[in-house]
Structure 1
Amino acid sequence: MSKPLLLSGLSDLVGRYDVILSDVWGVIHNGRESFPPATGALARWRAEVGPVVLISNAPRPSAAVHSQLDDLKVPRDSWSVFVSSGDATRLLLSARAPGPAWTIGPDRDAPLYEGLDLTFTTTPDDAAFISVTGPYDDETETAEDYRGRFEAALTRKLPLICANPDLVVQRGDRLIPCGGALAQLYAQMGGEVIMAGKPFAPIYGLCLGEAEALLGRKIDRSRVLCIGDGLPTDVKGANDQGLDILFVASGIHGAETIGADGLDAEAVERLLAAQGLRATYAIADLVW
């Protein structure tokens, strides 16, 4: 397996790619503040090279996340279009209307269900399927808090649709559990899990469609660059889609890959090899 090429900045790749599909959380913000060098790099790429499509495992429709980016001071000129796991998941949910759906997740994720003609239940007893966006309270709960409730769902063989495949996300200096952690537990218990966000194909299809609309032509996939910090989502998704990937080491795997002297290239290689993944490039933080 080839080693990732270490970059000094995104400018190293000008002329090599036409389109960027960039992860959001962990690359351009940490849930509490944006990273100006990263947003500046994307803004410059967009101005001088081509479209920047933000590809996020946020479980809400992309339009519902724009205000969050604004609040975190992510400049609008740093991205061309935003595609979320929520966008891709809505297609799965609409196909199962009217349900009923047993929904698990915080109130802030309610926009996922708007206009889908679904009915809802608060227990698995009357549900046709489960829809998970994340824990009800990601500050205090873990996936294990749902084991007992999932046992009841398994007796009815309910499929689980997960709107956010991320296992964890970085919030400030903490790692917070996401919907993917609940989905992982349900699958380990023997349940059926269905997902459309990264690393699964549907969200990439939406992103490439948006990029082609912006360019006004068919995309050469060899000229599409993915950027992300998550191995099981960003890197695996790019690998599965045959797309090149720039791994941002300081995100959720930063404790394993960043040392006192900066990026530890050997640690990155070991981390990738342990999961059978490949990164085309690696960088400590996204910069120009």
Structure 2
Amino acid sequence: MSIPFPTLTDHFAPLAHRYDVLFCDVWGVVHNGIAPFPETIDALQRFRAGGGHVVLLTNAPRDGDVVVDFLDGLKVPRDTYDAVVTSGDVARAEIEARRDQPVLHIGPERDFSMFDGLELRFTTVEEAQYAVCSGLFDDETETPEDYRALATAMKARDLFMVCANPDRVVERGDRLVYCAGAVADLYESLGGAVMFTGKPYRPIYERALACAERLRGAAVPHGRILAVGDSVRTDLKGAVAFGVDCLFVTAGIHAEELGGRETVDHGALAAIFTEAGVLPAAVTRRLAW
């Protein structure tokens, strides 16, 4: 059975007055990994100019300061947002609680900032007491299947995994690359135990809400928060589970299955929401004022 179709809009302005805070996804909404989206930058700046606050909420397996530096490199103006909350921030808290345990790290060197100052002992699958997955070692050439042997060895020792980025894929330019979530899914399929630290799981939303309330100097009702994102699995399901509205962006990771970046196949859109069993408050091609 299908579920009711959400509001379709080309503009955020008619909705903006309903909300005080945006939990805005980054990859696929603000930028595509190579360049920012000017219309989204404009929309976020206008929302902030009207008194709203923007918390960028990302499954990046890195500290928020590293994400800020990356956004600076893409020339995303700092007046586009008020704060950044990352999956890496949540993961770091879990890792810090285990700082005396030798750890196996699965992921690229660019994610090492998540471990800064913790003085961890990195080791092999044979000696580790748990694992942290922040991504693939080489997401340009590898797939999750390349990690089956490692995952099998981890399961043989019943290692617990912290997944610092629940995303399965992310946009890089006009293509998709695999993320840590895809490796973690493989490990779970083998019976491994995984803690996912980012969207759609509650800890990252609680951290973002606390950040928003510090920014506004007061409690923020869930009804005054809008999550903006392009992933059904992470952004939409996470927002619904946390009890906040979601504005779903179609020109992101689901673009190909939804008819392309410039058009929307309404039938495919209805099908993807029906299959997920969740519905956004509204749908837009890109976040634009």
Under a length normalisation based on structure 2, what TM-score does the superposition of the two structures give? 0.97
Structure 2 residue corresponding to 1:69, chosen from 68, 71, 77:
71
The answer to whether residue 53 in structure 2 is matched with residue 48 in structure 1 is no
CA distance in 2: counterparts of 1:54 and 1:260, whole angstroms = 22
Q: Secondary structure at the match of 2:162?
A: strand
How far 1:258 sits from its partner (Å)? 3.2
**What is the match of residue 13 of structure 2?**
11
How far 1:82 sits from its partner (Å)? 0.5
- Alignment coverage as a number of residue pairs: 287
Q: Secondary structure at the match of 2:99?
A: coil
The answer to whether residue 164 in structure 2 is matched with residue 148 in structure 1 is no
Give deviations 1:190-230, integer Å, cap 9, x for gaps: 10000110001111011111100111100110110000001
Q: Secondary structure at the match of 1:263?
A: coil
Describe the shift of the 1:136–1:261 C-alpha distance in structure 2 as closer, same or farther (beyond 3 A).
closer
> How many percent identity over aligned positions?
45
Q: Secondary structure at the match of 2:248?
A: strand
Q: Secondary structure at the match of 2:267?
A: helix
Whether contact under 8 Å (2:245, 2:280) holds in the other structure is: yes
The answer to whether residue 181 in structure 2 is matched with residue 163 in structure 1 is no
Structure 2 residue corresponding to 1:60, chosen from 25, 45, 62:
62
Describe the shift of the 1:166–1:259 C-alpha distance in structure 2 as closer, same or farther (beyond 3 A).
closer
CA distance in 1: counterparts of 2:54 and 2:104, whole angstroms = 35
> Which aligned segments of 4 or more residues in structure 1 are displaced greater than 4 angstroms?
none
Whether contact under 8 Å (2:251, 2:260) holds in the other structure is: no
The answer to whether residue 275 in structure 2 is matched with residue 268 in structure 1 is no
Whether contact under 8 Å (2:56, 2:81) holds in the other structure is: yes
CA distance in 2: counterparts of 1:261 and 1:69, whole angstroms = 25
How far 1:265 sits from its partner (Å)? 2.7
How far 1:261 sits from its partner (Å)? 7.0
CA distance in 2: counterparts of 1:183 and 1:259, whole angstroms = 28
Whether contact under 8 Å (2:255, 2:261) holds in the other structure is: no
Specify every segment of 5 or more residues in structure 1 that has no aligned partner in the other structure, as ranges.
none
| RMSD after superposition | 1.2
Q: Secondary structure at the match of 2:142?
A: coil
How far 1:259 sits from its partner (Å)? 4.8
How far 1:260 sits from its partner (Å)? 8.8
CA distance in 2: counterparts of 1:286 and 1:279, whole angstroms = 14
Q: Secondary structure at the match of 1:8?
A: coil
Describe the shift of the 1:260–1:212 C-alpha distance in structure 2 as closer, same or farther (beyond 3 A).
closer
Give, as a single letter, the amino acid of the residue that structure 2 aligns with 1:225: L
CA distance in 2: counterparts of 1:183 and 1:157, whole angstroms = 14
How far 1:280 sits from its partner (Å)? 1.1
Give, as a single letter, the amino acid of the residue that structure 1 aligns with 2:41: T
**What is the match of residue 250 of structure 1?**
251
Describe the shift of the 1:260–1:48 C-alpha distance in structure 2 as closer, same or farther (beyond 3 A).
closer
CA distance in 2: counterparts of 1:188 and 1:151, whole angstroms = 10
CA distance in 2: counterparts of 1:44 and 1:218, whole angstroms = 23
Written as runs of structure 1 = structure 2, the 5 A alignment for 1:30-109 is 30-109=32-111
**What is the match of residue 135 of structure 1?**
136
CA distance in 1: counterparts of 2:268 and 2:157, whole angstroms = 44
Written as runs of structure 1 = structure 2, the 5 A alignment for 1:205-220 is 205-220=206-221
**What is the match of residue 195 of structure 1?**
196
CA distance in 1: counterparts of 2:14 and 2:259, whole angstroms = 21
